[in-house]
Amino acid sequence: MGRGATIYVNRYACLTAFGGCARLRSEMDENFRSLPSVDRLLTDGRIQRLEEAYSRPFVLRVIRQHLEEIRLRIAQGEPAPMFDQMAESVCAQVHSIAEPSLRRVINATGVVLHTNLGRAPLSEEATAAMEECAGYTNLEIDLDSGKRGSRQVHIESLLCQLTGAEAALVVNNNASAVLLALSALAKRKEVIVSRGQAVEIGGGFRIPDVMRQSGAKLIEVGTTNCTYLLDYEEAITPRTAALLRVHSSNFVVIGFTQAVALEELTQLGDRYDLPVLDDLGSGCLLDTTRFGLGPEPMLQQSIAAGAGLVMSSADKLLGGPQAGIIVGQRALVDKLRRHPLARAARIDKVRLAGLAATLHHYLKGEAESKIPVWRMISASLEEIEERAERWSRLLGDATSVVEGESMVGGGSLPGGTLPTCLVAIKGRGKVNQLADQLRKGSPMVIGRIEKDLLLLDPRTILPGEEEALLSRLRNLELS
């Protein structure tokens, strides 16, 4: 007897024990007997149409699972549903499972790199390159010799040109880049890091945990707010394999603080023949101060400062698809390239194509105009205000334009904001209901709620999305 049947027997015994429960037993028996058979459900026209759209085995599995769930509820004392209700529920479950759940949304939150919405939107060129390479490609074949090649040749020279590094390697994401570097260079050895940089990088992933997984031993020095060069030097032993700097890309410590500059750290590493590993996180290639933001360390700066390896994400300020970028000294990169984990963490052909197309924007000097992240960041307040005013006029008296701030977000530039103008929709006590309607419609629209106002930020609306957004808003009961 299966586990489900055992549950029914146990519930049945509980209800009929000690006498006086004959009526309950009779009602439960009647509920079980009233359930239609699988064959009976298959004769329903609605379910027959499902079989035409999907495979019969799939529909059968859903029916059986649904009947099993109903039996469990009856055993809990609930009544059996009507036949029509069951057929509709089966149809709803089939559509819920079969229809794609990952869909495009319109980001009206004003958070440029919204982690929950997929971080960096890709340029048209990057999207086209990924589509072009979805089929067969020359991913790992040398077209000149006809022999097997390396997928890294499609990306390495681009990264070296942009950063000044001797060599480069691209993997699945930055967490895997850090794990690979520590595993290849410091397994069963010690890595020194400032106590203030033993951070959590999001989603519960912490640098100390990554280091333990790599087999390296974390040696923390200094304090949360102050670490000095002498702290690193005093911690160096014959077992030390590397010095590690982790950029605080998702938080900021203010007040009485002291940190060691990367140039000082690399000079110390040179004296003791130790590589400096620099985990930058966000992967920036442009000077953020030009746009009124705080300074964000750039990959090329770290290479110029003498870091042995620099690691970063590709889907944050770089503006590309998810990937982990590793650039640095050839001898160190080659060690990573030969490590077994490099294959487990390797990037796929589609994202490789998207990343290469994104990097070409930087080589051509067109990142600000082509890469959506930088187009949003560089948008002028006047341009955004004009769009907000136009939207408000089209939507009527239920809306107004208010001043506000856009966030960079996505584990980049902690606290970094840009002035913006927002379209504010008066909630009149139903702001959550309006947000829910926008979130569940088609296309899905995500805004933000503050003080009974639904706020929409033009900064993060992509070209081509404006008309669809306004159409959704016109269909809402805003007044």
Mean pLDDT of 131-135: 96
The reply to whether 32 and 133 lie within a common domain is no
Q: What is the CATH number of the domain that holds 323?
A: 3.40.640.10
- Whether 240 maps to a domain, the answer reads yes
Question: What pLDDT is recorded for position 121?
Answer: 96
Q: Which tens digits make up the pLDDT trace of 51-84?
A: 889 989 999 999 999 999 999 998 888 888 999 9
Pair 242, 388 in one domain: no
356 shares a domain with 272: yes
Is residue 381 over pLDDT 50?
yes
Q: Is the peptide bond before 463 cis (omega within 30 degrees of 0)?
A: no
Nearest-angstrom CA–CA distance, 465 and 108: 10
How does the average pLDDT of the chain come out, rounded?
A: 89
CATH value at residue 466: 3.90.1150.180
Q: Please indicate, yes or no, whether residues 157 and 226 belong to a single structural domain of this protein.
A: yes
Residues 323 and 379 in one domain: no
Residue 479 in domain? no
- Residues 184 and 281 placed together within one structural domain of the fold: yes
**8 A C-beta contact, residue 355 and residue 170:** yes
Tell me the whole-structure pTM to 2 decimals: 0.86
Task: Give 132-192 as a DSSP string.
Answer: HTTS---TTB-TTT-SB--GGGGTHHHHHHHH--SEEEEES-HHHHHHHHHHHHHTTSEEE
* Residue predicted with more confidence, 252 or 94: 94
Domain contains 117: no
pLDDT at res. 200: 66
Instruction: Look up residue 258 and give its DSSP letter.
Output: B
| Burial letters 31-62, b for 16+ CB under 10 A, else e | beeebbeeeebbebeebeebeeeeeeeebeeb
Same domain? For 172 and 273 the reply is yes
* Amino acid occupying residue 115: T
**Residue 459: inside a domain, yes or no?**
yes
State pLDDT tens for residues 273-310: 999 999 998 889 999 999 999 899 999 999 999 999 99
Residue 360 dihedral angles phi and psi, to the nearest 5°: -65, -30
CA dist 10 and 1 (Å) reads 12
Whether residues 218 and 238 fall in one domain: yes
pLDDT tens for residues 170-207? 999 998 999 999 999 999 999 999 988 776 665 556 77
- Does one domain contain both 94 and 131? no
> What is the total count of domains within the chain?
3
Which pair of tokens denotes residue 236? 């160096």
Helix (H) or strand (E) holding 116: none
User: What percent of the chain stands above pLDDT 90?
Assistant: 67
Domain identity same for 452 and 407: yes
Q: Which residue has the higher pLDDT, 213 or 129?
A: 129
Is the Cβ–Cβ distance between 227 and 279 less than 8 Å?
no
Angstrom distance (rounded) from CA 436 to CA 277: 45
CA 376, CA 368: separation in Å to the nearest integer? 9
Question: 18: pLDDT confidence band, cut at 50, 70 and 90?
Answer: very low
| CA 228 – CA 214 distance, rounded (Å) | 26
Cβ atoms of 110 and 445 closer than 8 Å:
no
Task: Please give the residue range of the domain that contains residue 241.
Answer: 122-370
Which residue in this structure is represented by tokens 């007044």? 479
Task: Give the pLDDT confidence of 303-351 residue by residue, as tens digits.
Answer: 999 999 999 999 999 999 999 999 999 999 999 999 999 999 999 999 9
Tell me: do 301 and 396 sit in the same domain: no
* Residue 39 maps to a domain: yes
Residues 65 and 137 in one domain: no
